[in-house]
Amino acid sequence: MSDRSATTRMILFTDLQHICCGDLEWLSPDGRPLPLLVPPEPQVAVQATTGLLPHGVRLVAQPARKLDPLPAGTRIGRVVYDDGVYRTWHLDAQCATGKGAFSTGQPDAVAICAGESADAFAWKETARCQIDIPGQTCFDGFTVFLDPKAPPAERYKAVYSASPPKQAYAWLWEKLQKIHPRHKDSRLTENEMHCIYGVISPDGIRWTPLAEPLLIHKSDTDTSVYYDSWLERYVMYTRLYWQDRRWIGRAEAEDFRRWGPVEPLVWPRLDGSMSDDIYTNGRTEHPGVAGSHLMFPMVYHRYDQTSEVRLYSSADGVCWNEVPGGPVLTHGTPGNWDSEFICAGKDLVPFGTDRVAIPCAGTCYPHKYPRWKAVLEAMRVTWAWWPRGRLCAVAAEQEGEFCTRPLAPAGRQLRLNVRTHRAGEVRVGLLGIPGRGAADCAPICGDSLAQPVHWRGETDLRASEGQPLRLQFKLRAAEVFALEWVETGGTPALL
């Protein structure tokens, strides 16, 4: 797999992809390296050195901080930060006989509603476009994304899940029989069909539905879609329902109108409760860090119908792992508006100059509590935020050390997103660059989102143009969240 860090100004430590694994090195008594194969005879006593092995450090997901809820009735779908404005969309398909995928009647009208906000708090509806999709019911899983590959007429795309018109059941069921059982949604039958449909728009205001479904699949909750320019594929994360539990599935497409099968991706942890679900995916990127694959899945606890949100990370969007450190978002304490249930939306967006945030929603009722009108109205939305770049830390409680894999600098100077205890410090060295070792680095102390790194009073990296660098970090009672390359006299990308 190619290394995309060559064009990345900010490097996040949300997983191991930028951290050197290292290994022991075996040396002779006089300090010479000994090879694994055909070492010189005779056999001598050898000693091991740790080489570039990381030690004394661990990854720790950072908890979010919640703001007070927004005014009752505020509706936020997927949020996109576009040219200084927050934009969102939701599908309005109200039905008197139920809600979402479990409604039983035909809505009077179906509309895609656009909203905008200058500050992410005060929202106004800016457009409402009715779409003509006769016979469809049970709408859910609606999301919008901007397609960088599409022609202008299709720059905006949306997907949603719905039950198709009854007259389409027979041919859809016949088509479903040609799919391997591992790619079928077990909830679909001859008498209950669901599909994922697409809608296109030039501006996010005027929408045209696509007649043919994208997939025969039931996505009765959060679906995420984006175009991955590195894979050169559209990617969809949606719900799977396997083993009577909710999982996250993934599908790809070269053509937005023709998708491959939904493959299983993330499932409930084996060391967790046996009645947990991975309910939503919350896939996103960190603002300003292209190719940073992140998820905020909601873990649903059936035992008491509460929930929590955890952080997952991926190097390629295909292989995912949970970031250690526990949940990053939990329901509130008894008596609070979110005391029983919490979930995260998307996307992670800039929140002022020094924070990033995701929309989230909560309620004071268990998730499957009978939904009288007052219960539905108790659900409120707000924002969960982190200092920018601080989703996860490489942390050392005492002394620790790690090295990066070779990174191509995207600037002449280095800034660290770092936090230390009063007695702690961080030093960073550039291996193989004279005068730029960790011993030459001025100790970094305190709490900074963009602390300049100095070596004996100098900040220039002294690296040749295009020369990959391996960074050595020495920590004591400290946390390193990210690094960022800047030009001489420049400022970090997200300031």
Give the rounded percent of residues in the chain with a pLDDT score beyond 70: 95
Q: Which two tokens stand for residue 395?
A: 């942390």
pTM for the model stands at 0.93
Calpha distance 105→99 (Å, rounded): 10
Cα–Cα distances in Å, from 385 out to 13, 108, 271, 285?
18, 38, 28, 14
Domain boundaries, the chain: 4-19+54-60+393-486, 25-52, 65-387
> 3 falls in which pLDDT band (50, 70, 90)?
very low
Cβ atoms 323, 15 nearer than 8 A: yes
Q: Residue range 239-268: average pLDDT?
A: 95
> 465 falls in which pLDDT band (50, 70, 90)?
confident
Cα–Cα distances in Å, from 466 out to 146, 436, 460, 472?
32, 17, 14, 19
Summarised one tens digit per residue, pLDDT across range 299-321 is 999 999 999 999 999 999 999 99
Q: Residue range 54-73: average pLDDT?
A: 96
Q: What is the CATH number of domain 65-387?
A: 2.115.10.20
Sign of CA pseudo-dihedral 117, 121, 122, 128: positive
Task: Please give the full DSSP string across 55-93, using - where no structure is assigned.
Answer: BS-EEEEPPPEEPPPPPTT----EEEEETTEEEEEEEE-
Q: Is pLDDT of 8 > 90?
A: no
Q: What is the rounded average pLDDT for all residues in the chain?
A: 93
Summarised one tens digit per residue, pLDDT across range 353-382 is 899 999 999 999 999 999 999 999 999 999
Q: Which of 417, 393, 448 lies closest to 62 in space, CA to CA?
A: 393
Summarised one tens digit per residue, pLDDT across range 48-57 is 999 899 999 9
Other Cβ atoms closer than 10 A to 74: 18
Beta strands in 93-169 (DSSP E): 111-117, 124-130, 137-146, 156-163
Res 493: pLDDT: 45
Summarised one tens digit per residue, pLDDT across range 185-196 is 888 999 999 999
> 93 falls in which pLDDT band (50, 70, 90)?
confident
Calpha distance 359→77 (Å, rounded): 8
Q: Is pLDDT of 476 > 60?
A: yes
Res 100: pLDDT: 54
Identical fold for domains 4-19+54-60+393-486 and 65-387, yes or no, is: no
Q: Domain 4-19+54-60+393-486's class? A: mainly beta
Calpha distance 437→13 (Å, rounded): 21
- Residue 208 makes CB contacts below 8 A (sequence gap 6+) with 131, 199, 200, 201
Res 191: pLDDT: 92
Res 279: pLDDT: 97
Q: Is pLDDT of 260 > 50?
A: yes
Largest CA distance in the chain: 88
Cβ atoms 443, 492 nearer than 8 A: no
Q: Supply the Cα-derived Rg of the chain in whole angstroms.
A: 25
Res 5: pLDDT: 42
Q: Residue range 427-444: average pLDDT?
A: 97
Res 335: pLDDT: 94
